[in-house]
Amino acid sequence: MPLPLQGLSAIVTGAGRGLGRAEALELARLGASVVVNDYGQPGRDGSGAASAGPAHEVAAEIRAAGGAALAHTGDVSDFQQGRELVELAVAEFGKLDILVNNAGILRDRMVFSMAEEEWDAVLRVHLKGHFNTTRFAAAHWRERSKRAGAPVFGRIVNTASEAFLAGSAGQPNYAAAKGGIVGLTTSTALALGKYGVTANAICPRARTRMTEDVFAGVEQPSGGGLDPLAPEHVAPLVGYLASPAAAHVNGQLLVVHGGMVAVVERPRVAARFDSKQDTFTYDELEAVLGPYYADRPPGETFAAAEVLGLKRG
């Protein structure tokens, strides 16, 4: 029986460590040929000299297990290197079928203390990095579809965060970038659906270099059991969303961790008030909105993650 991703090719960005590594290994296990991308900087804030080591090590691990993989060590936040990454996959495997965007950095600081460069760096790697690869993958699929005169196979899995869902006081740049990724995902899903391409986003919770302080107080299980926060809990969902079986899943946001997947609804209207005149006056707004919010804690109506019983991740 053929593997679910047999004959398909994939790109996974930020795949030298943590979540990206687990995702690249899972896609390869399911039969995909994988381009392992990682810029290789040692600091989770994007500091330190770039290194080819992490990407090449994961690619070698895939090949050692009998899969097909090669490394790409470019910076996906650079537009031209995003183009080169997609072109490499097409040149090596004949086409690109799956794009998993995972690369990211952290520059945590409260909004009143954040430097411009800290804001720009995080938005550049997360949001622009997602756009750069998506831009060229989308063009590839559109061109193939037009040549074929029919839809083709294409899958995009983007990485958002619960920081977008519930806010994260010390991560205004990260939360904004992740919210932007959700918007990019839903827009892409609408634009590419007619070409046979789906785009979905996940909010993973996992113990990685990026989250070591967030989960520092969460103990790992004794006795050798799988850590509930292990990236290996996230990878199977990515494999599923990348597969032909998920053709009907498009424009969705899913939270995943520790054996749980939650489908997040799009925001719904919690209450509506209509003016009794042509337009609202200040006094009328105070009369209807004042009482409505008086008994609600700040953020209650928009804290989707709290509804799921989730916290920052």
Q: Which residues pair with 69 in a beta bridge?
A: 34
Helix axes 129-148, 172-192, angle to 10 degrees: 0
Report the length, in residues, of the chain: 313
Q: Is 222 a catalytic residue?
A: no
Which is the catalytic residue, given 145, 168, 178, 243?
Answer: 178
Residues in CB range of 53: below 8 A, 6 or more apart: 16, 40
131 φ, ψ to 5°?
Answer: -65, -45
Which is the catalytic residue, given 161, 168, 195, 243?
Answer: 161
Closest CA to 85 of 129, 51, 127, 45: 129
Closest CA to 303 of 258, 267, 249, 256: 267
Q: Is 9 a catalytic residue?
A: no
Do the beta carbons of residue 137 and residue 86 sit within 8 Å? Answer: yes
The structure tokens listed for 234 are 């996230």
Letter for the amino acid at 21?
A: R
Q: Rounded to whole angstroms, how far apart are CA atoms 313 and 151? A: 36
Q: Is 145 a catalytic residue?
A: no
Q: Which DSSP category does 167 fall into?
A: -
For Cα atoms 16, 98, 9, give the angle at the middle one, nearest 5 degrees.
80
48 φ, ψ to 5°?
Answer: 95, 165
Which is the catalytic residue, given 39, 128, 174, 243?
Answer: 174
Do the beta carbons of residue 137 and residue 188 sit within 8 Å? Answer: no
Q: Which DSSP category does 263 fall into?
A: E
Find the radius of gyration of the CA atoms of the chain.
21
Show which residues are catalytic. Answer: 161, 174, 178
